[in-house]
Amino acid sequence: MKRSTQLIALMAALAAGSASAAGTLAGTTIENTATATFQDPANPTAPPLNSTSNTVQTVVLPKPDFDIVYTTSGIADGNTLTSTPVLTTGAVPGQVIETPYSLVNKGNTPLDIIVNADTTGSAAGATVKYYLVNPDGSRGAEIPAGSAVPVTADNPATTGVDEGIVKIVQVITLPTDPALITPTSVFGASPEGTVAGTAGADPLVTPGNGYASGTTVQEEGKAVDADLQFTRVTVYAPALDNNPNTNPGTPVDSAGNPLPPASVPPVTSVNVPTEVVGKPGDNTPVVSAPGYVTPAPTTPPATPSPVPGGATDPTPGGTPIATNVAGDEQIAYPIADTNATPDRVLFTNTLTNTGGATDKVQLFPALADGTPDPAYTFDPATGVFTNTTTGVTIRFLDPVTGEPIKVSVDPTNPTVAQYPTVTVPNGSTVVYRTEVTYPDANDSAPIAPVTVLIGADSLKDADLVSNSNTKNTILPPAAQFGDATGAQGAEATPAPIQTVNPNGPTSGATSPDFTDATATFPMDVVNNGQYNDSYTLSGTVELTDAVTGIKTLYPVLYYAPDGSLLPRVSNDPTSPDYNKFITPVVAPGTEYKPVAVIQVPAGTRTGDYAVTQNAVGNYSTIPMTDTNNIIRVAPAGSVAVAKFVAKAGVTAGSNPINTIPNPADYTATGANGAKPGDNISYRIIGKNTYNTSVNGFFLSDTVPANTTLFSVALTPAPSKTIYRVNGGAWTTTAPTGLLAGTKVDVAVDADNNDLPDALAPGATLSADFIVTVN
């Protein structure tokens, strides 16, 4: 419709509260009587005379016209869905959009204006209804679709009354079905007015409403759809970026209130285990992670390395968390603990809104497609999501109060929140905590990562699908330490035994059994966790000296599979860390095979000795022990026997025989001569050089030719001495006067069982054997 002078006048009239009727009301009778005025010729000075004609009557015929216009002044109609200036942007599912219109009778006769909705070009799914407007401006009765609204003609004879205007309101209700409303959906409608003609052929006979009977007239008599007044509605398109902690510039809390930047943990470098491998042939770690500094040989290689872009769990002693912004992921590296209670990691997450308007966003564990993860059940009373299969629980917490974020209750928002809801002003970043609690797993068995995908769904769209996901991952530690197996994993059930000869030579990691003094035990250190770690190994065994009986702790040495000694924690022999050894870094799901080596000192008493070994993760702090390895010290040594003859003036030890020193005034060579009737004194000494007692020990001698036994006695004399002649019965009676060739045995019987006692390791037994020359 052209902006004619008539329209401008109409709009001005509407603004002023007048419909500006088009002339006299139809049906009005116009009467006219003519009058002639003249001067009385008979009395020229008298007042003029009047002469009245007959009365002529004319009935005013209907001149109909009508329009539907925006009630708000200044907005011209005659537009389409794409050209209308009446625009509602950022609408949400189920939103109600009201637009006021006026039915204007521009003619001089009452009209019944039929109101319908024109939705040409609109997306499907919205409902459009029309209502009358009450005098106080509130919504009145609904106008049924296709029904007529009586609009009287404006009477120009009245002032301050708009008889020719009926105000209505168009109500568009957007759908809530996600299939019907998307960020690209455009909705709209325009009231379309028509009037059914009722006038007959002769309006004086059947005046009607001035439109020919049987016709349907459009607004202002124009062509169909030529004079519409659309309202256009575009849908809010959420623009959310759900992220790890990213040092937001405009942080807000869960209610949308500004946060001081200091309340958000800064994204800096954090120390986490790095990806390393060992070079073949040595133990020097080769590191692939950027920023890692290779440690000195005495430093555990798996000392955590700084990784840019991380933060620490804000709880006391919190877990280091590395941030991978490119991958939209945070990775937590918890250490092991000593209790069986569920473990907990508190992540800091951020959610940025660039959608153009304040948005309310609900948070929930999501699948990769953004839908809520059905493995979790949600308790609105506690704010806890629980995975009944894995036992993992999740809470979303306010960064200031630490309390669970509540589910939004907003009756003005058609989309009802189901999950914890945060308010994010446009251009701001909400900070929220994600608390992940998971069962305390067995620190030795293989363990899977705990991965939580967090969905963020705008309440301004129709679906329950995340508009942006971010991932929080926990890499728990686990490790095994024990005896080596062919397959992956350590064996703790059997008790490996290494038999050693303590008096034999020593060797390294490839010691043979029996023949030397070195015990070796192939071991496995298995990283069953989810991040790299190295391990400190240490061990001891308590060995007993065969002679003194003193017990001493000896260290376990650890060798690499190639036979080289692993690096020590400290190279200072006086340090308690001197006998602690460091493995190379062991990647997740792999194992390292060190060899435990114990050098058994000479003179160790025979027997079985349990070896205690310990391993601890240098980052994970997982403690592990192995106590089932046995060192079996085999008997080793001999019994030495020496015989000396008395000779005055001989210095003790000057004439040793078979490692046994001669007593003073005794010699093994150069004895004095003896005449018949003289006594010859012999001293026989037996020594146990075994690492264990020798049972049933006794000394023997035979009466030499040309002599007769004078006496036999142990020296020093024990509490009980027993004797035996020519293999007969043991007796406590000392023999004498025996002839040449007679064999005499002598022993100690301290336990009174009439049998020779054992000789302890390193001990000696001495007997004086005296004969008389015949």
* pLDDT above 70: residue 153: yes
* pLDDT above 70: residue 298: no
Q: Which residue has the higher pLDDT, 511 or 605?
A: 605
- The torsion of the CA quartet 761, 766, 767, 770, rounded to 10 degrees, works out to 150
Residues belonging to the chain? 774
Query: Using an 8 Å Cβ cutoff, are 553 and 540 in contact?
Result: yes
Q: Which residue has the higher pLDDT, 196 or 25?
A: 196
Report how far residue 770's alpha carbon sits from residue 645's, in angstroms, rounded to the nearest whole number.
Answer: 10
- The pLDDT of 123-143, averaged and rounded, is 96
Among 301-315, 332-346, 442-456, which is the least confidently predicted range? 301-315
Distances (CA, A) of 634 to 496, 498, 500, 607: 15, 10, 6, 7
What pLDDT was estimated at residue 734? Answer: 96
Distances (CA, A) of 293 to 266, 286, 676: 23, 10, 92
Q: In b/e form, how buried is each residue of 646-660, taking b as 16+ CB within 10 angstroms?
A: bbeebeeeebebeeb
Q: In b/e form, how buried is each residue of 80-91, taking b as 16+ CB within 10 angstroms?
A: ebeebebebebb
301-335 pLDDT, tens digit per residue, is: 455 666 666 777 787 778 888 888 778 899 999 98
Q: In the predicted model, what is the mean pLDDT of the chain?
A: 87
- The pLDDT of 30-55, averaged and rounded, is 80
* pLDDT above 80: residue 141: yes
Confidence of residue 196 (pLDDT cuts 50, 70, 90): very high
What pLDDT was estimated at residue 53? Answer: 75
Alpha-carbon Rg of the chain, whole angstroms?
Answer: 56
- The pLDDT of 6-13, averaged and rounded, is 41
* pLDDT above 70: residue 186: yes
* pLDDT above 70: residue 218: yes
Structure tokens at 33: 């009587």
> Helix, strand, or coil here: 320?
strand
Q: Which residue has the higher pLDDT, 312 or 743?
A: 743
Report how far residue 154's alpha carbon sits from residue 173's, in angstroms, rounded to the nearest whole number.
Answer: 33
Among 41-50, 107-116, 170-179, 469-478, which is the least confidently predicted range? 41-50
Report how far residue 246's alpha carbon sits from residue 264's, in angstroms, rounded to the nearest whole number.
Answer: 9
Residue 203, preceding peptide bond in cis (omega within 30° of 0) = no
Q: Which amino acid appears at position 366 of this protein?
A: A
- The Cβ of residue 150 has, within 10 Å, a number of other Cβ atoms equal to 11
* pLDDT above 80: residue 617: yes
What pLDDT was estimated at residue 376? Answer: 98
What pLDDT was estimated at residue 492? Answer: 59
What pLDDT was estimated at residue 368? Answer: 96
Report how far residue 332's alpha carbon sits from residue 452's, in angstroms, rounded to the nearest whole number.
Answer: 12
Report how far residue 165's alpha carbon sits from residue 153's, in angstroms, rounded to the nearest whole number.
Answer: 8
Of residues 488, 502, 739, 526, the one with CA closest to residue 600? 502
* pLDDT above 50: residue 299: no
- The pLDDT of 282-301, averaged and rounded, is 35
Containing 11, the helix (H) or strand (E) segment is helix 5-16
112-129 pLDDT, tens digit per residue, is: 999 999 999 999 999 999
* pLDDT above 90: residue 431: yes
**pLDDT over 90 percentage in the chain:** 66
The β-bridge partners of 372 are: 366
| Three-class DSSP labels, 12-68 | HHHHHCCCCCCCCCCCCEEEEEEEEEECCCCCCCCCCEEEEEEEEEEECCCCCCEEE
Report how far residue 67's alpha carbon sits from residue 4's, in angstroms, rounded to the nearest whole number.
Answer: 14
Q: Which residue has the higher pLDDT, 487 or 198?
A: 198
Confidence of residue 683 (pLDDT cuts 50, 70, 90): very high
What pLDDT was estimated at residue 198? Answer: 93
* pLDDT above 70: residue 291: no
Q: Which amino acid appears at position 412 of this protein?
A: T
* pLDDT above 90: residue 572: yes
* pLDDT above 80: residue 338: no
What pLDDT was estimated at residue 494? Answer: 67
> Helix, strand, or coil here: 589?
coil
Report how far residue 449's alpha carbon sits from residue 331's, in angstroms, rounded to the nearest whole number.
Answer: 10
What pLDDT was estimated at residue 18? Answer: 46
What pLDDT was estimated at residue 308? Answer: 66
Q: Which residue has the higher pLDDT, 180 or 162?
A: 180
Report how far residue 567's alpha carbon sits from residue 569's, in angstroms, rounded to the nearest whole number.
Answer: 7
Of residues 240, 242, 238, the one with CA closest to residue 434? 242
Confidence of residue 22 (pLDDT cuts 50, 70, 90): low
484-529 pLDDT, tens digit per residue, is: 988 887 775 667 899 999 988 888 777 777 788 999 999 999 999 9
Report how far residue 182's alpha carbon sits from residue 612's, in angstroms, rounded to the nearest whole number.
Answer: 68
Of residues 111, 206, 113, 155, the one with CA closest to residue 22? 155
What pLDDT was estimated at residue 286? Answer: 32
* pLDDT above 70: residue 300: no
236-261 pLDDT, tens digit per residue, is: 999 999 998 888 888 999 999 998 87
* pLDDT above 80: residue 408: yes
- The pLDDT of 352-372, averaged and rounded, is 95
Most confident range (mean pLDDT) of 105-119, 145-159, 267-281, 510-524 is 105-119
* pLDDT above 80: residue 407: yes
537-556 pLDDT, tens digit per residue, is: 999 999 999 999 999 999 99
